[in-house]
């Protein structure tokens, strides 16, 4: 029998022996007075003499990360997931049952400890145990190098194991929690009302994306998991809610990559009497504030780059960015007119290595040229604004340029973090745009919008001038925590089935 097979068997045997001793092997509660983190934070720097004089008693708990014995002196290392502390175990200082418990412990077990704080001869901050309480048995061995689990597959599939052995993983998710709290605080302080909209919808809308489809048996109707909350949030602004936001889970039936997970989190918000230019300024303030509150700085290390989240951010029009990049790649001048004429734009796209769809217009081709040549170059925060109308069916057109809409995307670290626009509030034009999308769907575009008659009806009741934006929380947390993959910042990312 291999060592890996022997360990679980021995651990189960130890658990049985604990039960024979009358130990409650699955206790219902443990009333600790301090966490390990609190002890280390409040007393970890105190000197030997200071601790001896203070004679501080504590009652704490944690998972065993190490067990060492040197004759009569025995030591445990306990962790609460953030900090560690050493426990000094002597047979003559514990009740007999407690010392028997100690002899049946394994690395990974949970225990409670009572005792006084002191420093050993080697100056190690330690608890001299007077009581030892068994709390839970770890029946499976932790990785041999419990201080670092590097197998990416295991880290994502068994996040609980990742959190046990990788303190940095826990810090990422604590940062994520602070980001969410900071966003809520920022929005509510500015008069926004947090709302909730349906996650199952009869029509998939609000974004160009392929949805997940499900079926409600009682109502005998097909439903779609939300790809975006946009159309419902704008219904609320029609109803008179002038500032609304939602931190929402969205689902898109698309590929998985370092930047994409089929289930992801966004914060989407809408404000009446605003336009996309106003939202650029607000977004700068939002991200600068959230970064400062959640990680303590606006100067962020992301991969090989130092990124500044201090306002103002760079601003660049989409066609200008695509034009400049194509000119540089092809070593010839590409003009704005080239990107607005379908055949010329298609020729440029082919020259830079893109396959051009038969039904794609000049606007969609210009967008694809931008995505191919520009996106990953936008490392410092950059607003890319004024998108082609063709790829923005819910955005308001510029008054002097019907082929362009008042829309921006924010790029940080080489990928999109936010998307916003001045909202189209003309019901006649919105119907025309939906009908164009239906044509695209008929030609095989599975991401195209369906007709949403109720949304058009809502617009007919009158949507005041409004601007809206979605901020990708997962991607922003990637930047703030220097995480190379979106799966590093999602506790339980979707994984392929095991073979």
Proportion of the chain above pLDDT 70, given as a percent: 96
**43 near 52, Cβ under 8 Å?**
no
Answer yes or no: is pLDDT of 4 > 80.
no
Answer yes or no: is pLDDT of 498 > 80.
no
**445 near 147, Cβ under 8 Å?**
no
Burial class of residue 321, CB neighbours in 10 A (0-12, 13-18, 19+): buried
Phi, psi of 147 (to 5 degrees): -85, 0
Give the separation between CA 427 and CA 203, rounded to whole angstroms: 18
Q: What is the pLDDT of residue 151?
A: 76
Give the separation between CA 344 and CA 453, rounded to whole angstroms: 36
More confident site: 444 or 452: 452
Tens digits of residue pLDDT in 118-138: 999 999 999 999 999 999 999
**307 near 412, Cβ under 8 Å?**
yes
Q: State the helix-helix crossing angle for 342-351 and 362-373, rounded to 10 degrees.
A: 20
Please state which of the ranges 68-77, 160-169, 265-274, 446-455 shows the lowest mean pLDDT: 446-455
Give the separation between CA 302 and CA 325, rounded to whole angstroms: 24
Burial class of residue 427, CB neighbours in 10 A (0-12, 13-18, 19+): middle
Q: What is the pLDDT of residue 357?
A: 87
Give the separation between CA 254 and CA 275, rounded to whole angstroms: 30
**326 near 347, Cβ under 8 Å?**
no
Give the separation between CA 235 and CA 242, rounded to whole angstroms: 11
Answer yes or no: is pLDDT of 447 > 70.
no
Answer yes or no: is pLDDT of 81 > 70.
yes
Average pLDDT over residues 80-101: 96
**131 near 96, Cβ under 8 Å?**
no
* Mean of per-residue pLDDT scores for the chain: 93
User: Sign of dihedral through CA atoms 93, 96, 101, 107?
Assistant: positive
Q: What is the pLDDT of residue 146?
A: 46
Q: What is the pLDDT of residue 154?
A: 84
Query: Which pair of structure tokens corresponds to residue 369?
Result: 């040229």
Give the separation between CA 263 and CA 470, rounded to whole angstroms: 15
Tens digits of residue pLDDT in 374-393: 999 999 999 999 999 999 98
Tens digits of residue pLDDT in 43-66: 999 999 999 999 999 999 999 999
User: Sign of dihedral through CA atoms 208, 470, 307, 261?
Assistant: negative
Average pLDDT over residues 197-201: 95
CB proximity list for 429: less than 8 A, separation 6 or greater: 397
Tens digits of residue pLDDT in 140-172: 998 765 445 667 888 889 898 888 888 889 999
Give the separation between CA 402 and CA 281, rounded to whole angstroms: 25
């Amino acid at each position: 029998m291999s060592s890996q097979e022997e360990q679980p068997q021995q651990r189960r045997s130890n658990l049985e022996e604990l039960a024979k001793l009358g130990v409650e092997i699955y206790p219902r509660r443990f009333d600790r007075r301090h966490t390990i983190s609190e002890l280390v934070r409040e007393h970890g720097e105190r000197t030997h003499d200071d601790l001896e004089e203070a004679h501080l008693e504590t009652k704490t708990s944690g998972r065993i990360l190490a067990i060492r014995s040197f004759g009569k002196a025995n030591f445990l290392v306990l962790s609460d997931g953030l900090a560690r502390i050493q426990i000094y175990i002597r047979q003559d200082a514990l009740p007999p049952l407690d010392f028997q418990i100690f002899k049946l412990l394994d690395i990974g077990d949970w225990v409670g400890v009572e005792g006084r704080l002191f420093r050993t001869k080697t100056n190690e901050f330690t608890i001299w145990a007077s009581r030892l309480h068994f709390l839970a048995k770890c029946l499976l061995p932790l990785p041999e190098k419990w201080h670092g689990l590097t197998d990416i597959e295991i880290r994502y599939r068994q996040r609980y194991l990742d959190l046990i052995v990788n303190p940095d993983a826990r810090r990422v998710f604590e940062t994520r929690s602070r980001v969410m709290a900071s966003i809520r605080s920022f929005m509510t302080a500015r008069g926004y009302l947090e709302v909730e909209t349906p996650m199952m919808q009869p029509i998939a809308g609000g974004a160009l994306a392929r949805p997940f489809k499900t079926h409600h048996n009682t109502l005998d109707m097909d439903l779609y998991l939300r790809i975006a909350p946009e159309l419902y949030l704008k219904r609320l602004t029609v109803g008179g809610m002038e500032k609304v936001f939602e931190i929402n889970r969205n689902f898109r039936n698309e590929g998985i990559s370092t930047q994409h997970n089929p289930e992801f989190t966004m914060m989407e918000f809408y404000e009446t009497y605003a336009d996309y230019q106003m939202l650029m300024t607000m977004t700068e303030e939002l991200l600068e504030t959230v970064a400062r509150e959640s990680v303590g700085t606006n100067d962020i290390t992301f991969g090989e780059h130092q990124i500044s989240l201090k306002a103002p951010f760079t601003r660049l029009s989409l066609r200008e960015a695509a034009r400049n990049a194509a000119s540089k790649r092809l070593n010839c001048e590409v003009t704005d007119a080239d990107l607005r004429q379908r055949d010329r734009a298609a020729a440029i796209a082919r020259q830079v290595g893109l396959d051009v769809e038969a039904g794609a217009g000049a606007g969609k081709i210009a967008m694809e040229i931008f995505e191919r040549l520009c996106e990953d170059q936008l490392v410092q925060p950059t607003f890319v604004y004024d998108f082609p109308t063709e790829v923005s069916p819910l955005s308001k057109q510029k008054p002097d340029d019907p082929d362009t809409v008042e829309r921006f995307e924010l790029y940080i670290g080489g990928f999109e973090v936010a998307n916003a626009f001045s909202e189209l509030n003309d019901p006649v034009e919105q119907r025309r745009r939906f009908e164009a999308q239906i044509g695209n769907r008929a030609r095989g575009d599975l991401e195209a919008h369906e007709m949403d008659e109720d949304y058009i009806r809502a617009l007919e009741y009158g949507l005041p001038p409004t601007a809206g934006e979605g901020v990708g929380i997962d991607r922003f947390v990637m930047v703030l925590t220097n995480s190379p993959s979106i799966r590093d910042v999602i506790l339980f990312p979707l994984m392929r089935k095991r073979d």
